[in-house]
Amino acid sequence: MSATIQCLSPIDGSVYVERPTLSLEAATVAVSAAKAAQPAWAALPLEERIARVRDGIARLGEMNTDIVEKLAWQMGRPVRYGGEFGGVNERASMMADLAEEGLAPIEIENNEAFRRYIKREPHGVVLVVAPWNYPYMTAINTVVPALIAGNAVFLKHASQTPLVGEHIASAFHAAGVPEAIFQNVFLSHDTTSALIADKAFGFVNFTGSVGGGQAMEVAAAGTFTGLGLELGGKDPGYVMEDADLDAAVDTLIDGAMFNSGQCCCGIERIYVAESLFDAFVEKAVAIVSAYKLGNPLDEQTTLGPMAHTRFADLVREQTAEAVAAGAKALIDPSLFPDQGGAYLMPQILVDVDHSMRVMREESFGPVVGIMKVKNDDEAIALMNDSEFGLTASLWTQDIDRAERIANQIETGTVFMNRCDYLDPALCWTGCKNTGRGGGLSVIGYHNLTRPKSFYLKRG
């Protein structure tokens, strides 16, 4: 009897999806099939691989109506927001457009005596371990360029969103991507680790917790398998005295609360210049107080449940500890009757400091702390006072000032007058405990391939 993975729906706690996991033996056979099929896939003209992947994305888009409701059941995002296909299409299209540049050989010399160049070679089989919070977009970030680069791909999706991989596989297979080349697999943690330790994959891309990333590194130890790791985050926003206040409040609070705060680059802490602090907080409280927490299948719901009760309980603990230590909670609980479980009211905290877990540890939920700062130096020190470094959001009318500050922030991406966005033309990367490597952009292609040098002497 094989083990199973279960998705407990955050809507009502019921078992929404259950799937058997592959045994190690069955998974090893699947890897062998991928390795056998990969050379023929890589030998196809680049234009052909791109065309099939583009067709697969289009077919995925045709499933969107069905996908939106199933996402609500799996991870709680309200149906009113319409799913992820806009972001999926933007990222996939950009990576297809960048393929020729990202995979182009580097020509060193080509004359009557020599041809010297560096070529990009696919790793072979790439394992993509994707998270549940933006389950299509995070998977597509690596799946699309990996396939276009000539790799075979194993997709192991989070147990909270098991239907996602099935949808992607169905779309790609219908578009002519061979079944052995793109495989959606259900694997236990032990089986995944055993495959990595056995050098089953040429590259592994993992998006998830710091602990999960550490487990990947342990499994890969001594194998020399390449790893791309996007892990935790505690992304800051800094609102300077010359910022467009309304735009800053609207954007940063949406960045903190959208998807119930479950965004990789969501805003988790905000620093505001003294002159704008009171007005910023007042406007922020008004926005959050107008949210409607409820069943994500209801079109009127603007804030759904968190994906799992344990995630909500962590945020409850962080918030309660902060209040006990002197923080002030500004959102009236009477506006959001406690439904318990995964349904968690949003909260804004002031009078916070970095001694509190809510300002240091990843919350990944609908809570944000707001602090007053005197100047840029104080803001920079606070933004850097974190074990994480994914994105930072700066709000000012002065681009030179923003660039000066950006150069001093320990982070992967800096936004000016924007947040909670991923530009697929730029490298998606982080530092410190946020991880290693980089996805998307031409650099994404470089990480999903290896360089191979050619020194050809004529005559």
Q: Using alpha carbons, select from 456, 459, 389 the residue that is nearest to residue 109.
A: 456
Tell me how far apart the alpha carbons of residues 349 and 359 are, in angstroms, rounded to a whole number: 10
SS3 270: strand
DSSP-H helix ranges across 63-130: 64-75, 85-103
Point out the catalytic residue in the list 230, 263, 265, 427: 230
Q: Of 362, 421, 327, give the one whose Cα is nearest residue 137.
A: 421
Does 121 qualify as catalytic in the annotation? no
**Contact call for residues 243 and 395 (beta carbons, < 8 A):** yes
The pair phi, psi for residue 53, each rounded to 5°, is -65, -45
Amino acid at the residue 83: G
Single out the residue of 221, 228, 183 nearest to residue 206, CA to CA: 228
Provide the greatest CA pair distance for the chain. 85
Q: Is 230 a catalytic residue?
A: yes
Give one DSSP letter per residue of 5-28, joined into a string.
EEEE-TTTS-EEEEEEPPPHHHHH
Alpha helix ranges (H) inside 210-335: 210-220, 245-257, 274-289, 309-324
Marked catalytic residue, from 7, 84, 263, 264: 264
DSSP class per residue in 323-375: HHTT-EE-S-GGGS----TT----EEEES--TTSHHHHS---SSEEEEEEESS
End-to-end CA distance of the chain: 64
* Residues tagged active-site: 230, 264
